[in-house]
Every structure is written in structure tokens, then in C-alpha cells.
Structure 1
Amino acid sequence: MKLSDLFYETWHALSANKGRSFLTILGIVIGIAAVIAMTSLIGGIQTMLMGEMGFEQARQVSINAYSSRGITFDDLDKLKTGMPEYDTITGITYSSSEFTGADGQTNYMGITGVRPAYFAVSGSKLKEGRFFTDSEEQNAARLAVIDSNSIMQLFGSADAQVVGQTIRLGNDDYTVVGVIDSTSFMSGGAQAYAPFTTVETRLGGANGISQIIGFAKEGTDMDRLVETTQSYVAQYFGLDAEEVYVSSLDAIIKQMETMMTSFSLLMGSVASISLFVGGIGIMNMMLTNVTERIREIGLRKSLGARR
């Protein structure tokens, strides 16, 4: 039989049983579409989450040490000397302040006091404007860098040109010099970054450094670094190991990857069940067709058809 005859007979068989053919094709399409959709969905979610967290910042380490005498930048310099695995070690402090939003309502803004090195360590992406400089930080300049989520609350429009504008924090006006991209992990409230000395002296920041942020050198074993950092910082400040909490973004990323892999297996199983059910439907149709063909062949042979 010619290939063209096979195509003709196939088309004739499909046309003769339109309902059955439609249901069979629908089962195939749904099964394959479910697998493709689930795979694409998992891949998209994983890419989005990892993009938000930033693979580039996997070398970031967060250190919380509860020292009664406080932590200074001189301490950080000594920690950096004692732990050469780090490229940079810096500190931050926290505060908050009331502000009147564009809607006239009074809200609170979280303020983080940092040195310029923090922006490089944290992987902050500058959307417009600039970061403040070391000299501005040393002189306690009244400057602020806000995240893009805060623009709407402060100025009433997400598209407002805010660089160069002033915002009222505490008893002073602060000039907005830059805007950084917000991530889905940031809270919905307004957030601002100001020079460390400004927050400490003008906005009632904590006495000394509240949290230590480190950025490890490329190729460093992050799991081992977390362990050595915890023991070294505890020894330096005379604390118990339980009083020093150290975490790395690399560990968080690995946990996220493990979670997404498990989620992918779960969703893949659901999609596979859809494909399996579609396959059973196809086999049922094939069995029905074979049964019908047996009768047709018997009829033809009784009329003298050859094998």
C-alpha cells in the first residue's frame, strides 16, 4: 500500500468517527500541555525567586553578635584582619521615623544606617541617582536613598522624579540622592537608607553597630566560613557560640533550590498523572478500533478478500 493510501485511510477513519477522534486528540493535548505548563511554571518561579535573591550575592554573610559593650567599626577592621576570607566587612544600624505621605496620612518609615560599602556588599541595584559617598557619611550628611516601593507612599506617584526632592524624617529634611530597585522580599512599608553617622546622631539609631554584613572572597567554601566566623566572632567578643548567629545567602539559596526541586517533583507527578490518564483514554480508543476492525476483516474475508 502506498504512503498516500495510508494517509487517506487514516483521514477517512478519523473523519468517520469525529467525536471519538476529537476526544482522543484532546486527551493527548491535555496530557502534553499539562507537562509543559508545569515544567515552565516551576522553571519560571525558580528563575524569578533566584533573580530576586541574587545569585551574585551568594557570598554575603550576615552576623549578629549580642555584645554588651557594643560593636564599633574598629572591631570590624580587626575582624577583617583576623578573617582574611572576607573581601569586605561592614556594619549597619536601624531606626525609624514618622513621615507624612502624599495622602496626608502619618506613617512610619524604616531607616537603615549604612556606609557606602554596604551597597556593594548587599547587591543593591541603583535605579536612578547615586549612592552617598564616604565623606558625606563621615560628615553626617542629611541624605537618603529610598527603594522604589517608597516612591508612591512619599510622593503619590510611582513615576515621580524624586532625585533631588526632600523628605521629612524626624526634625530634619533629607535630600533623596538615589533610588534602588525593590525586591519581592522587601516589606511593603517605606524604606530608606541614610549615612550611618546620620542615623546614629540625628535619628536615634542604636548605639553602635546592630548587624555585621560580610562579603566573602570568590571561591570561598561558604558552609565552612559560616562555622569559622561564628567561632571567631564569639571568641573575639568573649561570647558563647549560641550568642552569635551567622547565616549566608548561599545557604538560603541552597534551601530554596531544594524546596523548588521538591515542588517540581510534586507538580511533575501531577502532570504525569494527567498524561497517564490521557494515555489510558488513547489505549481504550485503540482497543475499540481493533475490535471493530476484527468484524470488518471477517466480513471482507467472507466476501473473498485476500489475507
Structure 2
Amino acid sequence: MMLRANIKEALRSLASSKQRTALALLGIVIGIGSVIALVSTGTIVQRESMKQFLEMGTDVLSIQQEWSRRDSGQEQGFRLDEAMDLPYANQAVTDVAPYISIHGSARYQGERMDVPAVGVTGSFITINQLNLINGRFISDLDYLMYQAVLSGGLASKLKALGFQDLVGQDIYFEDRKFTIVGELAPASLGGMRPYEASEGLMIPISTVSRMNTQNRINNVLAVKAGDISHNQAEALIQDYFAGLPRPMKVMVRSAEQIIEHMERQMRMFTLLLGAIGSISLIVGGVGVMNVMLVSVAERRKEIGIRRALGAQKNDIQGQFLMESIILSLMGGLIGIIIGVGVSFAISWFSGWEFQIIYGAIFIGVGVSAAVGVFFGYYPARQAANLIPIQALRSE
């Protein structure tokens, strides 16, 4: 009964001074809202990034040559035959997709645009988990041919300009005419998948080597054999490249390693975001304390009357503490709604899958209650310690 009476009295008191209550709520709303929005968005970004890596499978490895200043005079990158021979000379790898990324100007039926392009082999589509919706993909038979496959992103841009039936048409890239032989379905960005696979143009890797003075391959995607651990695969791949006539050191990364690294970074990022939001919460808590101190000062006579009628110190303290907790919880609930709304808006504009992070909401409610108790204790204690005679004399 006492708890119910304290809640009713707290609500009545807060309703009687709406402007002061609103100002006190503002700090808590901003604090909780910013924490919920930042932590929720950070978690969604982490899950989206992990999903993009896992789309390609955890058996996909990225191989790049290690480079140092001492190697500046040496030829950099892999030759095509060195990369393509890897599955035949090494039991750790079942398939490879070397690629060369370039950037240039494209022209399609009078429309000019800057387009990223990538020289690929036939295995590029399967390792990157890409899907054709029209035509065919680049094959090993397209050696030195001027054939091109449009990514889903580039095809969408051309269709938005009013162009349809793209397969079979010509597109100019760096003033060279390519025939479009295929069109890919839209693919998400991120993970190990090259940017060009989502937004650019794919052409035979041999053709890129002929067009470009930089004809060395900088990146190789490889599929690890299922019965070999990552550490074994890494050691075998490094041994292969170290044993070539032109020995080189390579860096081998797996999706699992990158995901673990991202998780560590996101944990640190989430802690940083939480710390920033905590500053707002402290400011909001001080605002709650100030409001409660003013409330105690204005209600000294009321406190004196209640004490004279037999109310105990704990009754007075409980009433003001309940008022502080309710004030903080109201701000916390409003902040949670705003924070979730901001997170939803960011996810919607970014094209991410929105998820409600219930852990962040529970933390928000708990922190709100804790702020109410911590910053409301001192004013409640002040009210409970008022001497009844002095309180009754106050005006």
C-alpha cells in the first residue's frame, strides 16, 4: 500500500510542475536516447558486416603479397600462372579467383560515367557467390577478348537512365569497345567481395593485363580445402609462394580472422559510444538532482506537516526517492523510443536489416532506474532529515 501511495504522490507532484519536469526529463532523454541509438546502430553494423563475410563462406581466403620498402625495386604482385597453378601444386586450396582492380571512364550510348572495373577469371562468380540474371559470365575462353559483365549496381544505374536489354549491347571502357555478355543480380557490398563485383564492370583478366601497364595481380581469392585447418592452409600457401623462382612472402587472411578482428574493434567502439552517452546521462542525472532539491525546498511545509502527523523519515525518503526514480524512468522510456527510432532510420536509409537490440533496451531501463536512485538519494535524504518544527515555520 505504501509503495502504491508513493507512486501516486510522485506522479501528482511531477504533474503539478510540468515545465520543471520536462526540463529534468530532457537530460535523461538525450542520455538514454544517444546510448541506445549508438549501441544499437553499432551492433547492427557489426551484424551486417559479419553477414557479408559469411555469405561467401568461411573457407574463402584472401591472399596478398607482403610488401616492404626493401622490396621497392622488385616487381610486385603475382603473375597469372603463379596464381592459377596454386590449386594444382597445393593440397590446401581447391579453387582460386585472381583479380586486378582498375578504374576508368565508361560510355554507354552517349552517357559517360566513372566506373570501377575488375579483371577476372571464370571462377570469380562462384567464389564471390554472385548470381547471373541475364547472359553468361566471363569464361577462360574469353582470353584477350573484349567481353564485359555488368554488376547489379552498374546495371541498375543504366536502367535508371532508361536503358533496357543491356546484354548484347556495346559499352566503351577507356575508349575500348566491349560487348556486354552478362548481367549480375545486385550483390551486397563488404566482406571479401571486391567493390567492383557490386558496382562495377567485370572483364577478362587477360584483357586488363593488355590494357593496363600494371598487369600484376595484387589479390587472389582462394577456397580452402574443407579438411585442412586455416593454420595449415596458411603455412602451405606461404610455402608455395616462397618456393617459386621469384620467391615472395604472402599474407593469408580468412573470413573468420577478419570477423574476429571486427568483433574486437566493435567491442571497443561500443564501449567508446557507451562512455560518450554516459556523459549525457551524468548531466541528466545532475538535472534530476537539481529538480528534486528545488522540490524539497518548495515542499518543506508539506514535509513538516507529514512528520507532525506521524510520518517516519523512511516514509519521506521513500516518497522523494520514488519521485526521482519515476522521473528518470519516464525519461529513459522516451529516450529508448527515440534511440530505437534513430537506429531504425539509419538502418532504413543504409539498406540494412533492422533489428531491435533488446539487450540495449534492458540496459537503458536499468541505467534509468540507477540514475534515479543515485541522483535522487541526496535530495530524498535532505527531505527526510528536515526537523519538523523548522519545516512547519518555513514559508
Q: CA deviation at 1:278?
A: 1.7
Match of 2:264 among 235, 253, 258: 258
Match of 1:72, SS state, is: helix
Using the TM superposition, name which of 154-163 and 266-275 deviates more. Answer: 154-163
Match of 2:166, SS state, is: coil
User: C-alpha separation between the residues in 1 aligned to 2:119 and 2:146?
Assistant: 12
Using the TM superposition, name which of 20-29 and 145-154 deviates more. Answer: 145-154
User: C-alpha separation between the residues in 2 aligned to 1:209 and 1:20?
Assistant: 67
User: C-alpha separation between the residues in 2 aligned to 1:193 and 1:163?
Assistant: 13
Q: Does 1:278 align with 2:284?
A: yes
**Structure 2 residues without counterparts, runs of 5 or longer:** 66-74, 312-395
Q: Which residue of 2 aligns with 1:20?
A: 20
Relative to structure 1, the CA distance from residue 101 to residue 76 in structure 2 (aligned partners, 3 Å threshold; closer, same or farther) is: closer
Q: Does 1:146 align with 2:150?
A: yes
Indicate if the aligned counterparts of 1:167 and 1:176 stay in contact, CA closer than 8 A: no
Indicate if the aligned counterparts of 2:78 and 2:216 stay in contact, CA closer than 8 A: no
1:73-122 deviations in whole A, cap 9, x for unaligned? 7x734x324432223124345677764345555x6755433332121112
Match of 2:242 among 234, 246, 249: 234
Q: Which residue of 1 aligns with 2:167?
A: 163
Match of 1:129 among 123, 134, 138: 134
Match of 2:33, SS state, is: helix
Relative to structure 1, the CA distance from residue 216 to residue 292 in structure 2 (aligned partners, 3 Å threshold; closer, same or farther) is: same
Q: CA deviation at 1:230?
A: 1.7
Match of 1:89, SS state, is: strand
Q: CA deviation at 1:269?
A: 0.6
Q: Which residue of 1 aligns with 2:118?
A: 112
TM-score relative to the length of structure 2: 0.59
Amino acid at match of 1:86: V
Amino acid at match of 1:72: D
Q: CA deviation at 1:188?
A: 12
Q: Does 1:248 align with 2:253?
A: yes
Q: CA deviation at 1:267?
A: 0.8
Q: Which residue of 2 aligns with 1:298?
A: 304
Match of 2:23, SS state, is: helix
Q: Does 1:83 align with 2:86?
A: no
* Number of positions where the alignment pairs a residue of Structure 1 with one of Structure 2: 295
Relative to structure 1, the CA distance from residue 285 to residue 294 in structure 2 (aligned partners, 3 Å threshold; closer, same or farther) is: same
User: C-alpha separation between the residues in 1 aligned to 2:42 and 2:262?
Assistant: 12
Q: CA deviation at 1:142?
A: 4.9
Q: Which has the higher helix share?
A: 2
User: C-alpha separation between the residues in 2 aligned to 1:139 and 1:83?
Assistant: 26
Relative to structure 1, the CA distance from residue 200 to residue 18 in structure 2 (aligned partners, 3 Å threshold; closer, same or farther) is: closer
Amino acid at match of 2:267: T
Q: CA deviation at 1:68?
A: 10
1:188-209 deviations in whole A, cap 9, x for unaligned? 99732234456567x5797786
Match of 1:289 among 295, 304, 312: 295
Indicate if the aligned counterparts of 1:199 and 1:205 stay in contact, CA closer than 8 A: no
**Structure 1 residues without counterparts, runs of 5 or longer:** none
Using the TM superposition, name which of 146-155 and 279-288 deviates more. Answer: 146-155
Match of 2:224 among 194, 216, 228: 216
Indicate if the aligned counterparts of 1:126 and 1:180 stay in contact, CA closer than 8 A: yes
Match of 2:285, SS state, is: helix
Relative to structure 1, the CA distance from residue 181 to residue 246 in structure 2 (aligned partners, 3 Å threshold; closer, same or farther) is: farther
